[in-house]
Amino acid sequence: MITIQNTDGDRRVLLLDNSFALDESPDFPEYLFDVIFIVNDTVEETKAILNSINPITSTKCCYKPLFVASALKGKMGNYDEIIDGYADDWNSMEVLAKVESIIEYNAKIGLNAQEDPIMSSNQFFIRLTRYLISRKKTVLEPRLDVSASTGYVIPVFDLFYRLGQYELSDYFVFIQSMSEKGLFRATKFVNKVYLCPSCLHSHLLYIKTCPRCGQSSIQTEEVIHHFRCANVSPEHTYNFGGQLRCPKCNKILRHIGMDYDRPAIIHTCNTCGNTFIEPKTKTLCTSCHKTHDAEELIPQDFNIYEITSEGKQSIISPNIGFTIYTEFYDNYIEYNRFVSRIRLLAEQKFSGNITGDLLVGKIWILNEEGETMPIRPEEIELVCLYFPNNKVSAANNITYVGSVIRDYAGDTEEEIINFQVMMSETLRAAVPILKPGEKICYTYMKLQGNQSTIGDFIKEMDYISVTPDDTAVYAPVEESQKQ
């Protein structure tokens, strides 16, 4: 059953009791109804209906008030996030009042119901954020969920992640770029967690392994130090028929602290017999089943975010006044992932798995006072465009380009010069985005040294150079037109 009826408040309510391809149906155009009422008492059937008929992803139901049967109250899990109320009578005072308040608020903030089908993760994020603004839910709080991809999730986002609406990497870039543009503001730090570098899930098993052969069948025991003869060896070497006796001098050990102590623990590998103090921690991802060293995991901060008033305006505006780089450029990655990638490449280089040079280019804008300026979307777009085969990222008011110069002909000098030329060309191309008094600069870092210098190299990435390799300054439009 699917019908449209008038409410006592003179609104038109779409009533339906089972799944229906509403968006594709020519019989129920968007302008014929104002409210959706799902008249079904079963949880699973109502969830199935909501998967396509909801105020976020359905083109015809966008931002419209939606109600389900009162019998389902408290039973809908995360679907509760997209339901405006539970009721059986669409003419009850409560429902009518809620309908009016939502419709009036949407009209006031200029949220138009007409939307296109969702074609990308970012379009989906915009739609969901608009919906949250429409419902005045402008605080995004991650919660712990044992069954969720990243452990901490914002329930309404996770609901749609499970329906296949977006990729996790796009989600992290979205949150990062919204906060860099001041449209979201982190109001409280929740936790820093470490994600699988392959799939970004958080459900990892931590495994202690033998640093020599990598196996995890390890025995752990304490080491005993016999004061009298200074013998130090694992506890089992002291065990003679249930008595603690020194394997070197044969004396019986009596009092801990008086004639012996246990200064350390030691691990012995059951596979290769190696004994060692520090086992190597590896992680096994329960989602993608890949194994990684603990150092390779991607750190991810989870914060409570608030949509700022600038964000509300910008997000609701029909020609959204910002671009999200991943919408157009698949070489843009979030900064945490960029750093992890550089670290991995650096380790690969020093362990001899790759030859050639590892470069990181940095671009930044300075104002008249010599202060770094916040990153501009156009700046990132240019860099993505000029370096289509490199990874690009941004943070600390710096835009980054990562590059591995492969050692094909045994000489990387020419390739490095090409990289410098491209960086300079990018600066020239960026002149039109500069404001009076500003200049745009670049420098590049080349990884040198050995394993122990990786940390310093990565630290240095956070900072601009006082002696840039090249700069370009603001030029008034009239002058460039004369040329």
User: At its nearest, how many Å lie between Zn ion and the CB of residue 303?
Assistant: 23
User: At its nearest, how many Å lie between Zn ion and the CB of residue 151?
Assistant: 13
User: At its nearest, how many Å lie between Zn ion and the CB of residue 412?
Assistant: 33
User: At its nearest, how many Å lie between Zn ion and the CB of residue 326?
Assistant: 20
d(CA 448, CA 458): 12
| Residue with Cβ nearer Zn ion (185 or 248) | 248
User: At its nearest, how many Å lie between Zn ion and the CB of residue 286?
Assistant: 8
| Residue with Cβ nearer Zn ion (4 or 232) | 232
d(CA 424, CA 443): 10
| Residue with Cβ nearer Zn ion (47 or 282) | 282
| Residue with Cβ nearer Zn ion (98 or 280) | 280
| Residue with Cβ nearer Zn ion (210 or 392) | 210
User: At its nearest, how many Å lie between Zn ion and the CB of residue 175?
Assistant: 20
User: At its nearest, how many Å lie between Zn ion and the CB of residue 386?
Assistant: 32
| Residue with Cβ nearer Zn ion (292 or 312) | 292
Angle CA 144–149–153, to nearest 5: 40
| Residue with Cβ nearer Zn ion (269 or 324) | 269
Residues at the site binding Zn ion, with contacts judged by CB under 5 A? 196, 198-199, 201, 210, 212-213, 226, 229, 231, 246, 248-249, 269, 271-272, 274, 285, 287-288
| Residue with Cβ nearer Zn ion (137 or 208) | 208
| Residue with Cβ nearer Zn ion (212 or 446) | 212
User: At its nearest, how many Å lie between Zn ion and the CB of residue 229?
Assistant: 3
d(CA 483, CA 481): 5
Q: Give yes or no for a contact between 441 and 464, defined as CB atoms under 8 angstroms apart.
A: yes
The dihedral region occupied by 200, where left means phi > 0, alpha psi between -120 and 50, and beta the remainder, is: left
User: At its nearest, how many Å lie between Zn ion and the CB of residue 51?
Assistant: 26
